[in-house]
């Protein structure tokens, strides 16, 4: 299967377990990999035969900058659900949601979760 990669999408959201996270907010990064068939788009040079990257960005933004959730896992799940429900050409997606500088004791560059979801479950 062919793949489309959207790397290091950046957003500002209010997700987290700690009160300061939901009050002050923080940066989130997302890496999105979409599996689809790109043959027809490549042969015809027709945008309607592929997935519009700008629309994917907006679908991710809608979730990450939307209603606050406690867990990064839940945010990633909602991003995948939003993409799969809105873009039928996507057969599966991999969502890596990165939380730079998490407010936890110690020295961290980031924490992240990665999930893989498909149209068929």
pLDDT value at position 48? 95
Q: Would residue 99 show up in a list of annotated catalytic residues for this protein? A: yes
Sequence-distant (6+) residues with CB within 8 A of 50 are: 4, 36, 38, 41, 89
Neighbours of 28 (CB within 10 A): 24
| Class of 2-29+36-99 in CATH | alpha beta
- Stretches in the chain below the pLDDT threshold 50: none
Catalytic: which of 3, 23, 70, 99?
A: 99
pLDDT digits (tens, 9 = 90+) for 25-46: 999 999 999 999 999 999 999 9
């Amino acid at each position: 299967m062919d793949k489309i990669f959207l790397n290091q999408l950046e957003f500002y959201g209010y997700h987290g377990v700690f009160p300061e996270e939901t009050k002050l907010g923080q940066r989130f990064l997302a890496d999105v990999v979409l599996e689809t068939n790109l043959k027809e788009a490549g042969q015809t040079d027709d945008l309607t035969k592929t997935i519009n990257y700008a629309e994917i960005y907006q679908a991710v933004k809608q979730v990450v900058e939307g209603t606050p959730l406690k867990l990064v896992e839940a945010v990633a799940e909602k991003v995948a659900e939003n993409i799969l429900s809105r873009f039928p050409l996507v057969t599966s997606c991999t969502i890596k949601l990165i939380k730079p500088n998490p407010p936890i004791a110690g020295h961290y560059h980031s924490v992240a979760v990665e999930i893989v979801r498909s149209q068929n479950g």
